[in-house]
Amino acid sequence: MQYRVLPFTANVASGSSSSTAAAQLEALCQEQARDGFEFQTLETIETHVAGTGGCFGLGAKPPFTSAVSVAVFRK
């Protein structure tokens, strides 16, 4: 089996409905289906981003956690 994992972030304007996000995911699924991939799931991956010490402490940034949504496809 072959898998494809792609980042997915819906671009929804203020005042738009959730159907806008659903339509964007549907378009991604149809695009991948043309390559023979079947949609499996939408998952969230959390990552830890290390902070930086800066130069002599100037401009230092603390570590933080970031989350990204990914769409998983299988062929």
User: Tell me: the pLDDT tens digits for 16-42?
Assistant: 888 899 999 999 999 999 999 999 999
DSSP string, 2-67: -EEEEE------TT--HHHHHHHHHHHHHHHHTTT-EEEEEEEEEEEEP-B-TBTTBT-B--EEEE
- Predicted TM-score (pTM) above 0.85: no
The per-residue pLDDT for 18 is: 85
Rounded CA-CA distance 35/67 in Å is 27
List the end-to-end C-alpha distance of the chain, in Å, as a whole number.
6
DSSP letter for 1, please. -
Residue 54 has pLDDT above 80, yes or no: no
The per-residue pLDDT for 7 is: 96
User: Tell me: the pLDDT tens digits for 56-68?
Assistant: 768 788 899 999 9
